[in-house]
Amino acid sequence: MIGKGLTHRPWVRVSALVLSALGILCASHTAAKADGDDKSNKGEFIPTGVRITPSAAKGSIFQPLNPGLASAPTFTVGQAVTTAVSPDGKTLLILTSGYNSQNFASGPNAGNTNPAESNEYIFVFDISGGKPLQTQVLQVPNAFDGLAFSTSSKEFCASGGPDDDAQDGPDHVDAHRSVAFIAGPYVKQGAVVSSKYTTVSMIATIVDILGIQHLGTYDALDRPMTDAFSKSAKKWDFTSIVPDILRTMTQLPLPADNAKNSPKKDALSAFYARPRHDANYWAEKTAGFNFDQADQVNASNYNLILWKGLVGDNVAYPAERDGRDLSKNRGALLKQWRESRIREFTQERAAQSGGGN
């Protein structure tokens, strides 16, 4: 555990809130000194490296988390993932993060998600008198795990924001995988790491490197991205490549164009140097799509529109996943893909100029 002042302590006696999908349970537990200490083998060992006693503290109660929705007064929320106690010890916050959504019960939208009542919540409890007393519920459109008080105990901050799921499709590995970059002298260079990591793994890595307290249960129990790092530093540098389309189509304050920060001049870079279509084309193709909230667009239809608009009608849309093991021979696979794209773009340009088939 990390105590006050971010000091690591080998064992401490703590008071914690054990959260369940139905409510909260005030409990106390004792962290064992070490797994190999024969005198400390009581309690349940958990992945954070401590043991907790399964029995609740005397006087503990279950209390449901009811946000008081007008359309669903008996609705209780789940996925209570993070808590924070004010520095003065008088206020307890509980943050939910999950799928606390409600559907329209009647009317033309019956069965569909009701955005006005599909939120996450921050429950505020007065704990100055012993028994937690719910005093307020704040709605958060979409929450993550971050929750922290100011030193004055009068203000607090919670992390949140829109989801950013990667675009799905048969040519993609998976709908919930996206690109993340790690850079630095301790990052392995020229290595292919096939260990499975998630966004939570990256958060756990950042937290461990900085030596700060974990945001919540998820990153505390996840393992850091150790296979991607080396124990010794190596010389490295990083140059940002500026796509040509940013220079020709925007007024961004970009660095001066030179050979080091510009893409290689070939048919592939020339293809991506100009927009495939104007705004009117995309507006017409996506007419009727709901972009106001995440995950409201028909993924299959949207993928096909993107493919035809960006890749072209002359390139067949993948009907099924390729199935190849892309973790092996990556250099050869990327070279093969690049060469095939250059051939296709060259043929397309020749056809547009009237000199091709």
Same domain, yes or no: 25 and 137: yes
pLDDT reported for residue 205: 92
CA–CA dist 225, 217 (Å, integer) = 17
CA–CA dist 11, 348 (Å, integer) = 68
45 φ, ψ (degrees, to nearest 5):
-80, 130
Q: How far is CA 319 from CA 19, 115, 295, in A?
A: 45, 34, 22
Name the pTM for this structure: 0.45
Instruction: State the chain's mean pLDDT as an integer.
Output: 77
The verdict on residue 189 lying in a domain is yes
Examine the fold and report which residue of 178, 213, 238 is the final residue of a domain before the chain moves on. Answer: 238
Residue 287's contacts (CB-CB under 8 Å, 6 or more residues apart) are: none
Examine the fold and report which residue of 209, 238, 267 is the final residue of a domain before the chain moves on. Answer: 238
Here the tokens at position 341 are: 């794209």
- Residues 271, 345 contacting (CB under 8 angstroms): yes
Number of domains the chain is built from = 3
The verdict on residue 313 lying in a domain is yes
Same domain, yes or no: 60 and 45: yes
The verdict on residue 99 lying in a domain is yes
Here the tokens at position 226 are: 């150790």
Same domain, yes or no: 211 and 87: no
pLDDT reported for residue 73: 87
Same domain, yes or no: 324 and 254: yes
The verdict on residue 228 lying in a domain is yes
24: three-class secondary structure by DSSP = strand
Read off the pLDDT of each residue in 267-289 and give the average, rounded to a whole number.
87
Same domain, yes or no: 126 and 21: yes
Examine the fold and report which residue of 160, 194, 223 is the final residue of a domain before the chain moves on. Answer: 160
pLDDT reported for residue 159: 83
Q: How far is CA 257 from CA 126, 246, 265, in A?
A: 59, 11, 13
- Residues 258, 282 contacting (CB under 8 angstroms): no
Read off the pLDDT of each residue in 282-307 and give the average, rounded to a whole number.
85
pLDDT in tens, 107-156: 888 888 787 788 899 999 999 987 889 999 998 888 877 888 988 898 89
Give the residues across from 85 on adjacent strands.
92
The verdict on residue 73 lying in a domain is yes
CA–CA dist 77, 62 (Å, integer) = 14
Same domain, yes or no: 121 and 143: yes
Residue 101's contacts (CB-CB under 8 Å, 6 or more residues apart) are: 113, 114, 118
Same domain, yes or no: 31 and 99: yes
Give 93 or 55, the one with higher predicted confidence. Answer: 93
Residue 275's contacts (CB-CB under 8 Å, 6 or more residues apart) are: 245, 249
pLDDT in tens, 146-200: 888 988 898 898 887 766 555 555 444 455 566 778 888 899 988 888 888 888 8
User: What domain range is 231 assigned to?
Assistant: 170-238
The verdict on residue 357 lying in a domain is no
The verdict on residue 165 lying in a domain is no
Concatenating the DSSP letter of every residue in 238-276 gives: --PPPPHHHHHH----PPPP-SSSS---SHHHHHHTS-S
CA–CA dist 270, 315 (Å, integer) = 18
Same domain, yes or no: 23 and 103: yes
Same domain, yes or no: 49 and 84: yes
Range name among 46-55, 212-221, 251-260 with the lowest pLDDT average: 46-55
33: three-class secondary structure by DSSP = coil
The verdict on residue 49 lying in a domain is yes
Same domain, yes or no: 19 and 145: yes
Task: Look up residue 97 and give its amino acid.
Answer: S
Task: Look up residue 337 and give its amino acid.
Answer: W
How many other CB atoms sit within 10 Å of the CB of residue 143? 24
Check whether 233 has a pLDDT greater than 80.
yes
Check whether 14 has a pLDDT greater than 50.
no
The side-by-side arrangement of strands in the sheet containing 80-85 is 80-85, 91-96, 120-126, 133-140
Range name among 22-36, 38-52, 209-223 with the lowest pLDDT average: 22-36
Same domain, yes or no: 230 and 251: no
pLDDT in tens, 40-64: 566 777 766 777 766 666 777 778 8
Same domain, yes or no: 211 and 324: no
Residues 173, 176, 178, 182, CA torsion sign: negative
Give 44 or 81, the one with higher predicted confidence. Answer: 81
